[in-house]
Structure 1
Amino acid sequence: MFERILVPVDGSQGALKALKLAVEMQKTTDAELLILTVYRHHSLREKSMSMVRASDPSNMDDVLREHSREIAEHAKQYALEHESPRARAFVKAGQPARTIVKFAKDKEADLIVLGSRGLGDLEGYLLGSVSHKVTSLADCPVMVV
């Protein structure tokens, strides 16, 4: 039924719920589990207002990339510990919804499973949630948990 299931994660409770469900689905379908974390480029303006304080503030993108990598690896470890051996983790930079949809298309994902609410930001409240955008842009089915 499904050959590749994409699970975008951001460290939120919603993403964890989606990951748990995707792992259970992967067990029954033997699909490959693609775990993706997306971080946004940190502009100079955002850098000045950020709650994340890096030891080297001039290199905030590196800090965000590393944090995203840790989230993706933690999710992959969860999948492996729960008998989902075909799990791979990826980190991408970009606008979350569009990056998720592009990644799904590039990797030929059959299904995207994501949380209804993530960590979000002000843009999410003004323009709509990532999950809403993904459901409207994706070519494959999207399951919102």
Structure 2
Amino acid sequence: MAFSKVLVAFDGSELSTKALNTALAYCRENQAQLEVLHVVNFQNFVVGEAMVAFPVPLQKEIQDNAEKLMAKAEAQMEGLPGSRVVLRQGSPAAAILDHAEENQCDLIIIGSRGFGAFRSFMLGSVSNHVVQNSQIPVLVIK
């Protein structure tokens, strides 16, 4: 089965980089389009009974780093017609599934875990949520 439009979730971690490289190789070999998606999630935090907003300067720093990360991914996509990078905000799993549906992707490639212990836990739950709720095939890279 050949896929024509592949979505890869990318956060710059080792496993998401492997996922991106897998997607790049597949798309080059099969002349498929590639969508590289990075999701930034600015969650509010609950401390006791108070809701604390994500600090604006930190949001700016994270957004700038995300844009640099996506520029690196875009540079690797040279020669893949119709391919693009996309930066979204929101819940990562929901954003991945929504993007796949909205853009008629027919395969999702995602790393099984992301950066650090906390982010590994979060990304592990993201990949699990994507696998459990996707209407299209999902390739999880370990």
The TM-score, its normalising length taken from structure 1, stands at: 0.80
Take 1:107 and 1:18, find their aligned partners in 2: how far apart are those partners?
A: 19
After the TM superposition, which parts of structure 1 deviate over 6 Å for at least 4 consecutive aligned residues? none
Q: Which residue matches 2:37?
A: 36
- For residues 1-145 of structure 1, the aligned pairs below 5 Å read 1-43=2-44, 45=52, 47=54, 58-80=56-78, 83-119=79-115, 122=118, 125=121, 129-145=125-141
- 5+ residue gaps, structure 1, are 48-56
Residue 67 of structure 1 and its aligned partner are, at CA, apart by 1.5
- The aligned length equals 134
Letter in 1 for 2:61: V
Q: Which residue matches 2:49?
A: none
CA contact under 8 A between 1:34 and 1:88: conserved in structure 2?
yes
Q: Which structure carries more strand by proportion?
A: 2
CA contact under 8 A between 2:41 and 2:91: conserved in structure 1?
yes
Letter in 1 for 2:73: A
Relative to 1, partners in 2 of residues 1:26 and 1:127: Cα closer, same or farther, differing over 3 Å? closer
CA contact under 8 A between 2:10 and 2:16: conserved in structure 1?
yes
Q: CA RMSD in A?
A: 2.4
For the residue of structure 2 that corresponds to 1:34, the secondary structure is strand
The TM-score, its normalising length taken from structure 2, stands at: 0.82
Take 1:126 and 1:86, find their aligned partners in 2: how far apart are those partners?
A: 31
